[in-house]
Chains A and B, each alone.
Chain A
Amino acid sequence: MRALLLSLCLLFFGGQVRAEGFVYDLHPVQVAAGTYVLIGDTHFFNRDNGGNIANTGFIVTKTGVVVIDSGPSRLYGEAMRRAIKAVTPLPVVKVIITHAHPDHFLGSQAFAGARVVSGPGTVEMIAKHGQELAANLYTLVGDAMQGTEVVTPELQDRSQETIGGHELRYYFLSGHTDSDLVVFDATTGVLFVGDLVFFRRALTVPNANVARWQESLTKIEAIPYRQMVPGHGPMPRGGEAVVETRDYLRWLNDALQQAMNGGLDLTEAFHIKVPERFRSLAIVDEEFHRSVAQMFPRIEEKALPAIGSTQ
């Protein structure tokens, strides 16, 4: 009996020690000279992945490291910093935030000393709603968010600059959110597109503007990149991730418009069938459901005819 109690105590304390800090298991994958990507889980936010669902990356230049997106939490940012240290002794000089979704910007706190920058809409969104986005992520992933504080980026005011021999070009686009910053390293040909492109994983659309998103995809296709880094999912070989993103977005929008025009209710739109060609996308049923709840009310607001009001 005493032995049993002792082992129960050990189990209890053993669990506590492990529970003290969430551990992100990050493995940088090299995609070009000095360029690495940390590939996130393709599930939705949960306690097991600690919010690590987006792809982040870093470029080792001659004068310092440029980080693209800092992940979902302080602990993630710190794990990323350690992963960078294993590759180079150079300091992180710049952190570029592609857009204001919590899986992309909440690790910035770990890069004190570096300049954190983003596009104008992202700066505004994080300044205004960063705390709410962080609080919401706490409820979804729990412990992994411990000690996370919002860092509001400065404005990336130049559209082109050279850092340590890498010529970086910035494209201020929109559509996934009001402000999506695309970073092209013209020296290596690597294109960080943020969440304007997903690959083998269903899109998220809480702040999407479909028409502008489609325009941005056309602009992205005109960039002479060699390797694209999508915001979510594995690394594509060529342009197939753009095609997949464009087709899924078109289908999603058309299906919901069709449901609206046909007089269906939101609860009926939940039953729209996802076509066979999109069935293989990660968590497509879950994301489609969220997309209906987010997009259908916006479509209704535009499509239902105003019939006036007399008071």
Chain B
Amino acid sequence: MRGGFSQIVLSAALLGGLAVLPVMAAAQSSPEADPFDSVNWEGVRDAVFDKAPLHFDLDHVKVEAPRKVEDGGQVPVAVSVQGLGEIKEIILVADLNPAPRAYSFYPTAALPRLATRIKVDQATVLHAAALTADGVWHVGGAKVDAPGGGCSTPSATQSSQSWKTNLNAIQAKAWRRVDGGDRLRIRVLHPMNTGFVTGIPAFFIDHLQVKTAEGKLVADLQPAEPLAENPVITLDLTAQGSSGKGYRLEWSDTDGNRGSASVPAASQSLAAEVP
């Protein structure tokens, strides 16, 4: 069916490229209004997604974050995409952060969902965008109300300096889901400095890869400034992407520090429901 559609588009393009172009141009000239009424959406959209086709799809792209946040330095955010087929990439942005993009996640052999904690600098709309194989971004979002300064106050590890000895110390565990895939939960000790605090340069983990023990890449995360200090990441691998022999994590930060560690194979089942 998909092949059929592509063929029709291709033939149409070959037969009369001029006829197709105006349709695309029209789509770009009248972008959809943000259902969350973010004051900075247009700026973020242009900066992060450039001219890529993009439409709001709140039914399939869900962002879960607490409405009221007490600690702007640790805002829990879960993004999940359902019913859109294969997802190439997921981007999370906090519209009013000085650097809005929190991460780019390439699910590879993971389910298109990721939970972590981010910094927000003030009350803002969070937008998550999922890229489907046809090159279209599907966007959802949520509003969070937070006190100021999540990105512009020093991290606790920065003040204690304890990261100098423990930098990149990593904690992780795998759980087996009923569908045969594994859940991974990962925590890395890192100050994740944004560079927006005077005198403290940007210093954050910008790449984390999950490989099976056999060496196959199964998930790829590229964090940016807003990811919270000592980030905790929860992701779910597909059954095909999961390994009975465990995993290897490889990461690097903006200063060129690198590390890797092995996660033992899942020995416990993921809780079927919340207590």
Q: Flag B149-177 by CB within 8 Å of A: 1 or 0 each.
A: 00000000000000000001111110100
Q: Chain A contacts of B257 at CB under 8 A?
A: 311
Shortest C-beta distance, A135 to chain B (Å), equals 10
Q: Which single member of B74, B147, B274 contacts A297 (CB below 8 Å)?
A: B74
User: Chain A interface: which of B33-41, B201-209, B218-226, B259-267?
Assistant: B259-267
Q: What bracket does the count of chain A residues touching chain B fall in? A: 20 to 34
Contacts A310-B260, A311-B258; is A304 near B185 (CB within 8 Å)?
A: yes
Q: Which single member of B66, B187, B234 contacts A301 (CB below 8 Å)?
A: B187
- Are A304 and B66 within 8 A (Cβ)? no
Closest to B257 in A: A311
- Are B258 and A304 within 8 A (Cβ)? no
- Are A308 and B261 within 8 A (Cβ)? yes
Give the number of A-B contacts (CB < 8 Å): 106
- Are A263 and B175 within 8 A (Cβ)? yes
- Are B274 and A307 within 8 A (Cβ)? no
Q: Which single member of A269, A304, A309 contacts B274 (CB below 8 Å)?
A: A269
Q: Which single member of B183, B187, B274 contacts A272 (CB below 8 Å)?
A: B274
- Are A293 and B66 within 8 A (Cβ)? yes
- Are A263 and B115 within 8 A (Cβ)? no
Shortest C-beta distance, B250 to chain A (Å), equals 10
B interface majority secondary structure:
strand
Q: Is B275 an interface residue (CB 8 A)?
A: yes
- Within B65-120, the residues touching A (CB, 8 Å) are 65-66, 68-71, 74, 76-78, 115, 117
Closest to A306 in B: B171
Shortest C-beta distance, B26 to chain A (Å), equals 39
Q: What bracket does the count of chain B residues touching chain A fall in? A: 35 or more
Bound together, the chains give a CA A264 to CA B236 distance in angstroms of 11
Bound together, the chains give a CA A259 to CA B173 distance in angstroms of 14
Contacts A136-B147, A263-B175, A267-B78; is A297 near B232 (CB within 8 Å)?
A: yes
Chain B residues close to A by CB (< 8 Å): 64-66, 68-71, 74, 76-78, 115, 117, 147, 168-173, 175, 183, 185, 187, 230, 232, 234, 249, 257-264, 268, 270-271, 274-275
Chain A residues close to B by CB (< 8 Å): 136, 139, 255, 258-259, 261-273, 289-290, 293-294, 297, 300-301, 304-311
Q: A265-B115, A293-B66, A301-B171 provided; 4 other pairs, C-beta below 8 A? A: A258-B271, A263-B270, A265-B185, A304-B185
